[in-house]
Amino acid sequence: MAEEFRKAMGLTEKQYKNSLVLLAGVYVGHSDTRIAKFAGLSRGFVIPRKKKLLKAGIWYGDNLTNAQWCEKDGDVAFLLDIMVLDGTVERVTAPEEETGEEEEAH
């Protein structure tokens, strides 16, 4: 079944393993030990990807995932997050736009 999923998504073996890291993080949290055990991957594979996901803001806070995978075009969002792990794309957060209003002092 795993091989069928990989082929259906058009993923390389590495991209498939990256997708396992993404999905495992949703189910077991962001612990590299739990992800490695759950997904059947080495911690050596998981740890650098965990760092990339945190840096990109895909993973944040207390085991939260910033993903639009279940929305319209969610498959594209999922593939883009896999590409972040591959290093083919970089996900950056745009700086907040200034409103032109001054903040009130509290």
Q: Do the domain assignments include residue 97?
A: no
Q: Do the domain assignments include residue 32?
A: yes
pLDDT, average across residues 24-39: 96
Q: Do the domain assignments include residue 102?
A: no
pLDDT, average across residues 77-98: 78
More reliable by pLDDT, 32 or 100: 32
Q: Do the domain assignments include residue 56?
A: yes
Total domains in the chain come to: 1
Kindly indicate the confidence band of residue 101, based on its pLDDT and cuts at 50, 70 and 90: very low
Q: Do the domain assignments include residue 37?
A: yes
Residue length of the chain: 106
- Amino acid code (one letter) for 52: K
Q: Do the domain assignments include residue 100?
A: no
Instruction: Tell me the per-residue pLDDT of 40-72, one tens digit each, with 9 for 90 and over.
Output: 999 999 999 999 999 989 999 889 998 888 888
H or E segment and range at residue 65: strand 64-65
Lowest-pLDDT range, 14-23, 31-40, 69-78?
69-78
CA distances from 16 to 13, 24, 47, 92, 97 (A): 5, 12, 16, 23, 36
